[in-house]
Structure 1
Amino acid sequence: MKLTKLIPCLLIFLLFTTSLNSISAKTSHQWMDKSLSAQQRTDLLLKNMTINQKVQLVTGNLNHYYGFYNEEIRGLGVPALKMADGPAGIRIANPDIQDKKSTALPAPIALAATWDVDSAKAYGELLGNEAFNTTHNVVLGPGLDIARLPWGERNFESLGEDPLLQSKLAIPIVNGIQSYPVMATGKHWLLNNQETERFTINSVASERAIREVYARPFEEVIKHANLSAVMCSFNKVNGVNACNNETILTTLLKNQLNFKGFVMSDYFANFYTTESANAGLDLETPGMPGGHWGDQLIAAVREGKVSKEKIDDMAARILTQMFSKGLFDYPTENVQIPAKEHGQIARRLAEQSLVLMKNENKVLPLDKKEIESIAVIGPEADTYSAGGGSSLVVPTYTVSPLEGIKNAVGENVKVSYAAGTDPISAGDILPGPSAVPSSLLTPVNGHNENGLTGEYWTNTKFEGKPSFVRTDHQVNFSLGFYNYEGFNAQSPKLAKIPAEFNGEMSARWTGQFTVPVSGEYTLSLSSLGSGKLYIDNELVIDNHSRKLKTSKRTLSLIEGEQHDVRIEYSTGEAGGIQDFGGLIRFGWEPPADAVEAKMQEAIDLAKQSDVVVVVTRTYDSEGYLDNVNLDLPNNQNRLIKEVAKANPNTIVVQMSGRAVQMDTWQDHVPAILQAWFPGQEQGNAIANVLFGNVNPSGKLPITFPVDEKSTPVSSENQFPGIDGVSEYSEGIFVGYKGYEKNGIEPAFAFGHGLSYTTFNYRNIQAKAVRKGENNNLDITISLYLCNLGVVSGSEVVQVYVGKLPTKVDTPSKQLAGFKKIELLPGKQELVEIKLDPKAFSYWDEENDEWVTPSGEVPIYVGSSSKDIRLKTIVAIEP
């Protein structure tokens, strides 16, 4: 028979056998039948899984350098869980997927500043879309950690300090993510509110604080968004590690809050086998070099330490969510992200998030027709700024503030740039004074170069020849986690330290310091390990400590003098430093009139310009430090003051994910715009608000204190804790509620935010009724809101509940509801807001229940927690 005659026969045979295999597969894989419920499909699949396969499902593993995958179970058609960090965009670990680029959204704290559920929905939908189309089916977000500390380094990943605000925004985020075949993960469960000692700290809080504050966002998202997963944290909760804490995993989360999804550990946060499995952990995410489950968990089952029923429950929780969210039926894809289209979504979100903190004499918006020259000043004004750590994404493109301002004004306005200070780096997380500016430092044998000569060793004793030598502009470093590729959000202007120095190391910096003006100079070393500062070969600071500390020495110096500088640093035996990396900063506190070359260049430019826009930023990142110093880092405070003296038309655009202290310069500038980390379109969003193309409507989701000592959490036992214990002694009085209780006046109140128009509130009405068989409380308020200005604008109407009619201590103000309203000039609208019943209740620890006292309750309505426009009373019937 000829081959040509054989081909049709072969094709028929292949088609026939393929059809038989398909029928066989459908018969043997009944769980693939979409007409069945998720629970039915799970039950069928579990019956066909061996104990080894079930343990394989619940045990994550590191997949090469991707790190966020567990294995698929091919014989059963179980897809791999392909995870991506997702609080501020989809962080792609695989370089083969779209060059690791995705849309960099405004930080979650910026989204919280919109106070807008529609924006939150758009945010979540974009996350779900890009996760699915970059081959991911699990988003590790949103972050539901309450911003307890105003200086929290991870506050930028939070949705603010208030549980109701968090809840109202987290629900549409999760629903948006899960509108695709993607599972959302609420994190971190529980009391994960500081980075300092985050791996070991024991967070001690009352049951009432947990139920009313820290568990509330999780509870609401579980109830209203069918949350798929929860990630447990590193810290201890009331003495027990979070990921093997039966009280919070099983009793509270699964039983009391009725969570039907699964609990995964944070990476490396599971420390046990039997204890964590029995406590309620369902999925161990990858550890290095391996985790504590896998073969160890199989052995525990065989030895009777973990029951087969427990393994079935763990596997069932994961599979049910995978079936219900479509992971079995809709495999992830690699579809190119529409960069411009999604970038415009990021821009619109950013525009809604910017908070106009101050606008004296209506200096904003700027009129480009009346301006001939603009000076843009700031170390990062010409680059893209974002928070660091696991939420750092590689943007599809970026627009810097400088570029955005140039785009806005066109060619008719001269826009010039000066940095003013050195770039911001991970070293700026360290406590202590700002780093000595590079322009005052000269390396050994330096020619037309600034900085000190740095020599690096991979041992702790400067032994042998240094393996790395270069000129470092400043001695200002946080190595370890902050220096790993993909986690470091430092300026692209700074050269990176090779990763080989992220563990034990030693280094020496040498050169000269030139005194800019005669006076008293306080030099400092902030370091962990052993740090020594020599001036003209004299040891002036010997900073040896197993804990991070700052030591200072004051010297009288003469203008123009050059002094030899030598700094010797070793991680030494600073307990665990090999895991964290070297930490050191050479700092200074100069005389008030000391101005170095970079700052002088900015001052000169300011004098020549009609308007100055100073763009500042902080360095915020996941890691192992919280910088309790709320000052702007790296001499930016002095920069603002000096530039404002040179030109009174100075506007500050402040980029950070946390509160900053403004008291030293706030009164010297007429306008302040809080821009957060506003995503990849940050420049265009900032410019659109500065020039009035967008009327700012953002409101603060956190309180800005006057300084770090004027907060409800300023005692050492609260932060960073004593002997490894952080006492949540403020109880339920977190954020603005604590400021109110303690009579602490903030710099800028929770909910604060100005507009280019004016809103009038009038005719408030309040009504409370009991409804339904369960006698549920239904409380609504109504009022008229009117735009009195000549431009359109949006206002966030905020409703607060006063003290409840009970002997139990309750807040004098607690957010009970809010609504964002957009109005044309001269228009008014009837605003109705349904209030949160739990704002009228408290958690009774003795009886484990919510209690709603009967009686009259004050209602406050306003534009912030301080700016109250209307008051009324509502009567709560028993």
Structure 2
Amino acid sequence: MKWKWKFPRLLALTALVLTSTASPYLNTASAAGADDHPWMNKSLPAEKRTALLLKNMTLNEKVSFVTGDVNNFFGFYNKDLSRLGIPALTMADGPAGVRIADPNVQDKKSTALPAPIALAATWDTAAAKKYGTLIGSEAFNTTHNVILGPGLDIARLPWGARNFESLGEDPLLQSKLASEYVNGVQTSPVIATAKHYLANNQETERFTTNANVSERAIQEVYARPFAAAIKDAHLGSVMCSFNKINGESACENKTLLTDVLKKGLGFQGFVMSDYGANLSTVASAKAGLDIETPGDPFGLWGAKLKKAVDDGQISETLLDDKASRILTQMFQKGLFDNPVQNVRIPAQKDGAAARQLAEESMVLLQNRSQTLPLKANELKSLAVIGPDADNASAAGGGSSLVSPTYTVSPLEGITNRAGKNVKVSYAPGTDPISSADVISGPSAVPSAVLAPPGAKDGQTGLKAEFWTNASMNGEPKRVNVDPQVNMNLGFYNFGGFNAQSPKLPVIPGDFNGTMSARWTGSITAPKSGSYKLSLTALGSSELYLDGKLLVKNEGKTLQTIKADVELKEGEKHNIRMEYRTDSPSHSRLVGAQIRFGWEPPADTVDSRIQEAVDLAKKSDAAIIVTRTYDAEGFVDRSDLDLPNNQERLIQAVAKANPKTVVVSMSGRAVQMDSWKSDVNSIVQAWFAGQEQGNAIARVLFGDVNPSGKLPVTFPVNEDQTPVSTKAQFPGVNGEGSYSEGVFVGYKGYEKEGLTPAFPFGHGLSYTTFDYRNLKVKVSNPNKDQSSSDPDVQVSLHLRNSGGKAGSEVVQVYAGKLPTQVDTPAKQLAGFAKVTLSPGKQTKVDVKLDPKALSYWDETTHQWVTPSGEVPIYVGSSSSDIRLEGKVKIGK
């Protein structure tokens, strides 16, 4: 597949919906009455209204109805259907809020919610309902009646660049939260769209990779959240993905779309393609695709679909089924009877809701010496450190990036909460995080050790010259000073998709395609010793040190080439780098990718880190706010490192101040093992939305007792996971092996005997909880192995044994099943979030999910409950088990 094939599809993502109140399609429903349009009779059931309308549609209208407008990349519109009063399907990206693309609608601003992975960390179904309800309301009031969310892609890879859009690694946790998210969205006249169906678990090669997944893993892991949203929330729509599954493209996969989704799971809604993910006319139509959204390749439905019906390749009955599915959902969800509107959303009210969700999502990973909560009356000075602590840009990039109604930075929130009697000072410590940091490889050489030619007044960085050709011909089109050589253009440089720091220079879109560049200046080592200097690049590049070629990287694929060099402290060396976008992979979307990296001697401290160290030394406490860059696009990091020298920053500051707290803002797991023993406290804050600063401050100062639990496992490093082989990620020759089977996430760590840094379900509190009196009973035991599901109830007493009010997530896990089939040693079977005042106790009842006591049989193609005893584990995380019991199931 050629990259040029994908350009229009991702260009479409720059503005998925261009809908204004002036659109002729927004209010067509209200113009039609029940007399001439009997399907507008609200008293009739949706199915009857659909049948009446379908009878009045011509073949051309049906084809138009299921085909996206290829001339409109900004959304899906029904064409030439105003005579029938059919309202347009106006779609907005999700799932972390409503991404408004039309500049005429509320300045394109809506509430930026915490990332879905943060929602997953709440382990709170009520929070999920609140989250979805807010999205549905804002979608409807910003002219949208379809929201492209939730994202139900299992976080299979700890380093996944799009994990921030996921609801975690466990299918039961995802299922419970997804159902309430969908229920919330669809309380408004808005259709929720679950994505991406199926096995869309990586960004690297996501357009072409073939995910080889067993039937059992599909049923027990990857399809389960979709099944729950269908059963428990009447999900309206599903989006099929780009990748292949077991050799067939997702949108042409009859096994998954028709046999599993529509027949097996009883899905009554409609299937839409991701933008440009449809690759055929007849094959996709017969497989179960119902809407071809706009994108490239063009016109695979439309006129070609009409011809296929005329030629008898596709029956009109099949076409009727597609149109009927869409119409029924539109009637059921109220789209015909409630035209979308443009009503100013309540920014402060919805912002407050975003803050509350963020507060509930934060996970206290570590808290030695009870460093947290901070007490303002015991502090005179506080150091806030971190490259982007002074702005609120920490968010996942790509199509889900929301333009917020307002923002609060961590520095602002902490300063305001600390009060006027605490001196709060700020030092960045390192350079800002950029879109280039989604790429693996050594950290970029910091600007503090670089200087352009003729630098004056402590000027740092390198002189940069850019050309819009690949050979540096002619005069450069851009000449300026770049702080670092750390660049990732193309899709990651499109306006509105980039969540990097606003402190970084803006690179014009002219350079997103073919370009070349030269950087010149000098490097001065902050410490004597052996350095590894490197070029990580896609495209050819060279690094010259004092005029001699040190590193040559052919860059046919993205790779890192290193060279060892001895440098003396304070000694200046001239450097020059040249780079060209001459890889076969380059396009307007896969743009320039290059990083000038380094691996300095241990304990190397540059001047910017030293400023942070000096500030920490004279402060009563130090708060380091770190972040990653995670985004939809073309690559996942293959490591879990903190980018851009943040690890060295933590180590240096922690030595200077024993009361150091790290606030980690990321959408994925981060490697902490090299520094977690150096700091007292760690708070996992995720991408916390537009109120991130206030939410972080309220947790740090104890206004909110943290209650979040990890929805993903944090491994020690990228080599100690159940998916660390190249065959599993990124795959070999385009083939991705899901050889871990059902042992995804914590189940795989236990199976492989891998001890993580922080386990699934982990999360501390400012109080303590006691678990007592476990009871397990079966209300309706199975009479045979394939009859009704067992009704297993677990009860216990939970007591707040500490001194602060707080919430605890009681987690119940089922052990290995009594069968020769290999099943997990622990599998989440149920959970409950409970809030208690100090000294109070309550009885907690948890009904176990029957699927945790069953397995999918690939011979009979059904769920089977075996007979015998199953261990039951109850605790505060998957590894912190407080009570144990057992239950007899089956015959």
Q: Shared fold by TM > 0.5?
A: yes
Please state how far the C-alpha of 1:775 moved relative to its aligned partner. Answer: 3.9
Q: Which amino acid aligns with 2:578?
A: E
Q: Name which of 261, 264, 274 aligns with 1:266.
A: 274
* CA deviation vs aligned residue, 1:588-635 (integer Å, no higher than 9, x gap): 001123221211111111111000000000000011101011110000
Task: Supply the distance in 2 between the matched residues of 1:587 and 1:23 (Cα, whole angstroms).
Answer: 62
- Correspondences of 1:320-331 after superposition (within 5 Å): 320-331=328-339
**Residue 841 (structure 1) aligned with residue 854 (structure 2):** yes
Q: Counterpart of 2:6?
A: none
1:419 to 413, 425, 428: 428
The letter of the residue matching 2:836 is: L
**Correspondence for 1:337 among 330, 345, 361:** 345
Whole-Å Cα distance in 2 between the matches of residues 572 and 120 of structure 1? 46
Give the secondary-structure state (helix, strand or coil) at the position aligned to 2:709: coil
User: Which residue does the alignment assign to 2:592?
Assistant: 582
Q: Could you tell me which of 798, 802, 805 is aligned with 1:785?
A: 798
**Which residue is equivalent to 1:160?**
168
Gaps of 5+ in 2: 1-28
**Given the alignment of the two structures, is residue 548 of structure 1 paired with residue 558 of structure 2, yes or no?**
yes
In the alignment, the residues of structure 2 paired with residue 276 and residue 401 of structure 1 have an alpha-carbon distance, to the nearest angstrom, of 47
Equivalent-residue separation in structure 2 for 1:230 and 1:746 (angstroms): 34
Q: CA deviation at 1:59?
A: 1.2
Which has the higher mean CA deviation after the structures are superposed, 513-522 or 339-348?
513-522
Residue 416 (structure 2) aligns with: 407
Residues 1:390 and 2:399 are matched in the alignment: yes
Partner deviation per Cα, 1:809-847 (whole Å, 9 max, x = no partner): 000000000000000110000000000001000000011
- What value does the CA root-mean-square deviation take over the aligned residues? 1.5
Instruction: Say if 2:517 and 2:579, in contact at 8 Å, map to a contact too.
Output: yes
1:561 to 567, 571, 574: 571
Counterpart in the other structure of 1:88: 96
Structure 1 letter corresponding to 2:451:
T
The alpha-carbon deviation at position 304 of structure 1 amounts to 2.2
**Residues in 2 aligned to 1:848 and 1:595: alpha-carbon distance in whole angstroms:** 60
In the other structure, the counterpart of 1:257 is: 265
User: Once the two structures are superposed, what CA deviation does each residue of 1:670-726 show, in whole Å capped at 9, x if it has no partner?
Assistant: 000000001111111111111110100000000000000000000010001000011
Instruction: Give the counterpart letter for 1:519 in structure 2.
Output: G
Question: Which residue of 535, 547, 550 corresponds with 1:537?
Answer: 547
Q: Please list, as runs of the form range in 1=range in 2, the aligned pairs for 1:222-621 lying within 5 A after superposition.
A: 222-288=230-296, 290-384=298-392, 385-448=394-457, 449-621=459-631
Contact 1:61 1:290 (8 Å CA) reproduced = no
Instruction: Describe the shift of the 1:616–1:68 C-alpha distance in structure 2 as closer, same or farther (beyond 3 A).
Output: farther
Cα distance in 2 for residues equivalent to 1:24 and 1:615: 56
Q: Does 1:125 align with 2:124?
A: no
* Aligned residues of 1:700 and 1:753 also touching (Cα < 8 A): yes
Q: Which one is further off, 791-800 or 266-275? A: 266-275
Q: Whole-Å Cα distance in 2 between the matches of residues 803 and 23 of structure 1?
A: 60
Change (3 A) 1:429 1:776: closer
Query: What 5-or-longer segments of structure 1 have no aligned partner?
Result: 1-20
The amino acid that maps onto 1:861 is V
SS in 1 for 2:396: coil
3-state SS, counterpart of residue 546 of structure 1? coil
User: Which residue number corresponds to residue 9 of structure 1?
Assistant: none
Q: Deviation string for 1:202-225 (max 9, x for gaps)?
A: 100100000000000001110110
Moved more, 809-818 or 593-602: 593-602
Q: Distance in 1 between matches of 2:360 and 2:293?
A: 36
Q: Which residue of 2 aligns with 1:821?
A: 834
Is the Cα contact below 8 Å between 2:73 and 2:295 reproduced in 1? no
* Structure 2 residue 822 is the aligned partner of structure 1 residue 809: yes
1:630 has 2:640 as partner: yes
d(CA) in 2 for partners of 1:375 and 1:97?
40
The structure having more radius of gyration, on CA atoms, is: 1
- Give the deviation of 1:22 after TM superposition: 11
Distance in 2 (alpha carbons) for counterparts of 1:271 and 1:569:
35
C-alpha offsets along residues 739-777 of structure 1, whole Å, 9 cap, x if unaligned?
Answer: 000100000000000000010000000011327996442
Question: Which residue type is aligned with residue 361 of structure 1?
Answer: S
Alpha-carbon distance change, 866 to 546 in structure 1, aligned in 2, over 3 angstroms: same
Q: How much does 1:63 deviate?
A: 6.9
Q: Are the counterparts in 1 of residues 816 and 823 from structure 2 also a CA contact under 8 Å?
A: yes
1:128–1:843: structure 2 CA closer, same or farther, 3 Å change rule?
same
CA contact (8 A) 2:33 2:40 kept: no
> Which segment drifts farther, 454-463 or 389-398?
454-463
1:667 to 666, 677, 701: 677
> 1:574 deviation in Å?
2.5
Kept in 2, the 8 Å contact 1:455–1:508? The answer is: yes
- Cα deviation for residue 578 of structure 1 reads 4.3
Residue matched to 1:15: none
- Tell whether the 8 Å contact from 1:62 to 1:69 is kept in structure 2 after alignment: no
Secondary structure at the aligned position of 1:777 is classed as coil
What's 2:64 paired with? 56
**Deviation at 1:108?**
0.3
Q: Deviations over 1:617-675 (max 9, x none)?
A: 00000111010111100000000000011111100000000000001110000000000
Any conservation in 1 of the 2:61–2:80 contact (CA below 8 Å)? Answer: no
Q: What is the CA deviation profile of residues 38-81 of structure 1, one whole-angstrom value per residue up to 9, with x for unaligned ones?
A: 11111111111111111111111367674455547211111111
Q: TM-score under structure 2 normalisation?
A: 0.95
Question: Is the Cα–Cα contact under 8 Å of residues 68 and 84 in structure 1 kept in the other structure?
Answer: no
Which is worse superposed, 60-69 or 189-198? Answer: 60-69
Give 3-state SS (helix, strand or coil) of 2:852's partner. helix
Per-residue deviation, residues 359-384 of structure 1 (Å, max 9, x unmatched): 00111111110000000000010111
Deviations 1:205-257 (A, max 9, x none): 10000000000000111011000000000100001110111111111111111
Equivalent residues of 1:63, 1:70 under 8 A apart: no
Paired with 1:153 and 1:291, the residues of 2 have a C-alpha distance of 31
Q: Which amino acid aligns with 1:569?
A: Y
Q: Does 1:189 align with 2:191?
A: no
- Alpha-carbon distance in structure 2 between the residues aligned to 1:595 and 1:564: 21
- Bigger CA drift: 321-330 or 566-575? 566-575
Among all aligned residue pairs of Structure 1 and Structure 2, give the percentage whose two residues are the same amino acid: 64
Shift of 1:446: 3.4
Structure-2 change in CA distance of 1:24 and 1:214 (3 Å): closer
CA separation of 1:459/1:762 partners in 2, compared to 1, >3 Å: closer, same or farther?
Answer: same
What secondary structure does 1:640 align onto? Answer: helix
What secondary structure sits across from 2:235 in the alignment? coil
Counterpart contact for 1:72–1:79, Cα < 8 Å: no
1:121 is displaced (CA, Å) by: 0.6
Distance (whole Å) between structure 1 residues aligned to residue 323 and residue 475 of structure 2: 54
Partner SS, residue 387 of structure 1: coil
Report the residue type matching 2:714 in the other structure: F
Separation in 2, partners of 1:35, 1:638: 66
TM-score for both structures, normalised by structure 1: 0.96
Instruction: Quote the Cα distance in structure 1 between the aligned partners of 2:664 and 2:131.
Output: 23
Q: How many Å apart are 1:24 and its aligned residue?
A: 8.9
Name the SS for the 2:754 alignment partner.
Answer: coil
| Higher mean C-alpha displacement, 858-867 vs 775-784 | 775-784
> Residue 245 of structure 2 aligns to which amino acid in structure 1?
V
User: In structure 1, which of residues 201, 205, 218 is the aligned counterpart of residue 209 of structure 2?
Assistant: 201
Q: Do the aligned residues in 2 keep the contact of 1:785 with 1:831 (CA within 8 Å)?
A: yes
